[in-house]
Structure formats: C-alpha cells, structure tokens
C-alpha cells in the first residue's frame, strides 16, 4: 500500500511539550526559562548538587548544571537501592534502562510539569540494529524499567517514531516505556507514541507485577496500553489519535492485555476518560492479546466509572486479535461507565459487572498489601 506524504507533525511530542519542542528538537533555554519563571532554579524545590537533599539524590541537567547530562548516566551511577533522580526541564533523546538491581528508584521531573521533562527516542520493532537484525517490540522501548519499587512523577516518556517517515518498515510497534518491575508507580506522567505506547508487563510469566498509574495521560493508536501486568489506571486520560495511513475503521485499539491465566487480576481502569481525535466509532476499546509464547493467557480488563467519547465503537467495543482466542472467552467487563462511547446498545457485546462483582474490582483488591496511593 502506498502511504501518503509524511505530515510535518510529530503531534504527540510537539503538542505535549509545546514551544519547548519542535520536530523532536528541544529548546533547552526555553525549558530552563520556564523553570526559572516559576521562581526556582532548574531543579525546583529539590535542591541542587551544591545543596543535595541526601547522598542518594542525583541531579540530571542537559546543560551540565547537574551531576549528569543524561538520564542513563545518572541511572548507571545509582549503583544500589533507593536512589532519586531529579531531572531538570529539557528533552533527553536517549534510550534508558533500569536494571533489576536498581530497586526503589525514583525519577522526579523537577518543574512539576510533565510537559517540561521528556525522555524520547525513535526506535521501532522493525528498525535495523547496528549489528544486524531489527529491534523487535521490547527492543524498541525508549525506557525499560525492570527494577522493583520504581516511581516516576511529572515526566513524559515518548517514542516519536512515525510510520509515514518509514514506509518500508512493517514492524511499526514503537514503545515509549516497558515496565516489568513489581510495585511500579507513575503519577502525573505522560506516555506518548502511536503503536504499543505503554507496555505494562512483568519479568516472567509466573510473576504478577503490580503497577499503579494515577493522573497520567496516554495516547496512541494500536494496542497502546498492553501487556500482562496487574495494573491499575486511576483518573487517567487515554487519547486515540487520527491516522493518515488508513481510510476506514478501525484505526486501532486502546487496550490489549495479555494477563496470565493464573493471574486473578489484570488491568483495572477506574475514574478515567477516553477521548479521541478520530471520527466517531473508529476505535475499539480493547482486544485480547494471547501471545504465541503463552497460549494459556486469559486477558483481563475491567473499565469502571470512566467516560468514553464517541470515538469508541459503542456497538462493538471489543474485537479479536486472533480468531482462535475470541474476546468473549476472556475476562472483559465494565461497570457504570458514561459518555457516548459507553452506551450499552447491544448488551451481549458489553459485559457488565453487578454491584456485588464490582466490589472485587478496586485498586485495593488489585494491589493487595501495596498502597502506593497513600504515598504519591
């Protein structure tokens, strides 16, 4: 298929960072000016290298005013558990990996505004690797977090790879962040991409990693929130994007959980909203992902108390990824949602929880003895 000429827009980055970004290039001076305009230095209320909060606080600044100029350099320097990275406004064009040994790590966007601090790169699954082959979905991730106890506040995680710029590449999955650790929390963060934006997963099939997302913004088009983690998305905003390469519906799918069959808890979306750039009914709410590596998966998604725009197909909100694993055999349910995309016009297409069943689909039930909402 011949694709249209590239559109001069990296919408999800430019719109998110405003004047601080232009086609993926940051204006560090402007970002710093914004921080100073708020009456503080580049690290806000979090100290500085000369006034360090403690010995396990490291400062990242793209212009050299911190301990490190890249996020990965700061991660590498955090050789044990319990480090905090305070990241100054700017765009950090790099890939970042947090290994399993770097537990209880916290990243803080110093300005308190996620738009100001952006970690971004542009690999896709089909991008050629320097040593041969291609990256694959996991390898495309801008950020990879494998450590337990990771927390991020007020940051943007992005992958600005665009299909229109690479018509010869068929592997269009381009992950902004893959999270595999248990007790991973994200507050006030933004996750920007197109296909496979937020990969909420675990380290192994038998590991039920718990993740918590609050007051976050996620956008994309195909399966842009996916994976096998036990994940709670509380008061989050999901936005579906327009697509210039397709002429008809569906453009894509918001959720694609791959919950292990033995895991009693998958994805819970509560108190959020789903908006859309696309025409009415051009997006499905979800489809189940049963990977070839785990054909016993039983994807689980519960959406409750969430407002859905007309961009979601209210008549047929779910579809299959594979005919061998129909969505009706999975664990999809809704409860007291609102908006034109949540209208129950064909009841058999929209399984609803009873009030009694809904009592077991709460953040407390999903996260167990871990209570991140009390400390965030």
Tokens of 343: 């209208």
User: What pLDDT was estimated at residue 375?
Assistant: 74
The pTM assigned to this predicted structure is 0.92
Query: How many helices and strands in the chain, by DSSP H and E?
Result: 6, 27
Residues 6 or more apart in contact with residue 100 via CB below 8 angstroms = 146, 147, 148, 181, 203
Of the candidates 208, 209, 308, 210, which has an alpha carbon nearest to the alpha carbon of residue 254? 308
Radius of gyration of the chain from its Cα atoms, rounded to whole angstroms = 20
Pairing of strands 267-270, 300-304: parallel
CA 360 to chain centroid, in Å, comes to 25
Helices within the chain (DSSP H only): 11-17, 28-37, 71-77, 136-139, 355-358, 363-367
Question: What are the two backbone dihedrals, phi and then psi, of residue 373, each rounded to the nearest 5 degrees?
Answer: -65, -20
**In a structure prediction context, what are the per-residue pLDDT tens digits for the chain, which is 376 residues long?**
233 333 333 444 544 443 333 333 344 445 454 544 344 689 999 999 999 999 999 999 999 999 999 999 999 999 999 999 999 999 999 999 999 999 999 999 999 999 999 999 999 999 999 999 999 999 999 999 999 999 999 999 999 999 999 999 999 999 999 999 999 999 999 999 999 999 999 999 999 999 999 999 999 999 999 999 999 999 999 999 999 999 999 999 999 999 999 999 999 999 999 999 999 999 999 999 999 999 999 999 999 999 999 999 999 999 999 999 999 999 999 999 999 999 999 999 999 999 999 999 999 999 999 999 987 6
Asked whether the beta carbons of 243 and 221 are under 8 A apart, the reply is yes
pLDDT of residue 15: 46
Q: Going by C-beta distance under 8 Å and a sequence separation of 6 or more, which residues neighbour residue 184? A: 145, 148, 149, 150, 151, 209, 210, 211, 212
- What phi-psi label fits residue 362: left (phi over 0), alpha (psi between -120 and 50 degrees) or beta? beta
How far from chain centre, in Å, is Cα 262? 24
What is the predicted pLDDT for the residue at 134? 98
User: 69: how many CB neighbours lie within 10 A of its CB?
Assistant: 16
CB 212 within 8 A of CB 177: no
Whose structure tokens read 């298929």?
1
Q: Among candidates 213, 218, 221, 156, which has minimal Cα distance to 187? A: 213
CB burial string 175-192: b at 16+ within 10 A, e below: bbbbbbbbbbbbbbbbbb
State the pLDDT at residue 39: 46
Task: Give the residue numbers marked as catalytic.
Answer: 196, 223
The maximal CA–CA distance of the chain, rounded, in angstroms, is: 63
pLDDT (0 to 100) of residue 9: 35
């Amino acid at each position: 298929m011949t694709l249209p000429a590239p559109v001069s827009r990296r919408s999800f980055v430019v719109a998110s960072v405003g004047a601080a970004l232009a086609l993926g290039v940051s204006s560090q001076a402007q970002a710093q000016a914004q921080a100073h305009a708020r009456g503080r230095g580049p690290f806000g209320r979090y100290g500085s290298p000369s006034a360090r909060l403690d010995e396990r606080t490291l400062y990242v600044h793209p212009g050299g005013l911190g301990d490190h100029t890249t996020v990965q350099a700061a991660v590498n320097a955090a050789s044990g558990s319990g480090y905090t990275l305070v990241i100054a406004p700017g765009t950090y064009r790099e890939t970042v990996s947090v290994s399993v040994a770097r537990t209880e790590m916290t990243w803080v966007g110093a300005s308190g505004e996620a738009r100001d601090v952006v970690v971004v790169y542009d690999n896709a699954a089909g991008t050629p690797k320097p040593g041969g082959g291609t990256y694959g979905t996991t390898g495309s991730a801008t950020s990879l977090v494998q450590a337990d106890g990771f927390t991020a506040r007020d940051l943007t995680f992005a992958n600005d790879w665009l299909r229109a710029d690479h018509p010869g590449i068929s592997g269009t999955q381009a992950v902004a962040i893959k999270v595999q650790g248990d007790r991973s929390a994200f507050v006030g963060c933004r996750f920007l991409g197109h296909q496979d934006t937020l990969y909420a997963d675990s380290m192994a099939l038998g590991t039920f990693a718990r993740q918590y997302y609050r007051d976050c913004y996620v956008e994309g088009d195909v399966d842009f929130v996916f994976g096998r983690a036990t994940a709670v998305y509380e008061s989050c905003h999901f936005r579906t994007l327009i697509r210039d390469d397709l002429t008809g519906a569906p453009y894509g799918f918001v959720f694609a959980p791959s919950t292990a069959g033995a895991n009693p808890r998958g994805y819970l979306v509560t108190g959020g909203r789903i908006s859309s750039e696309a025409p009415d009914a051009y997006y499905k709410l979800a489809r189940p992902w049963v990977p070839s590596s785990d054909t016993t998966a039983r994807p689980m998604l519960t959406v409750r108390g969430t407002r859905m725009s007309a961009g979601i197909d209210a008549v047929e909100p779910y579809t299959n990824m594979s005919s061998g694993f129909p969505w009706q055999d999975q664990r999809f349910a809704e409860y007291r949602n609102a908006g034109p995309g949540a209208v129950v016009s064909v009841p058999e297409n929209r399984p609803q929880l009873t009030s009694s069943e809904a009592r077991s689909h709460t953040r407390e039930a999903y996260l167990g003895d871990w209570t991140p909402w009390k400390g965030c």
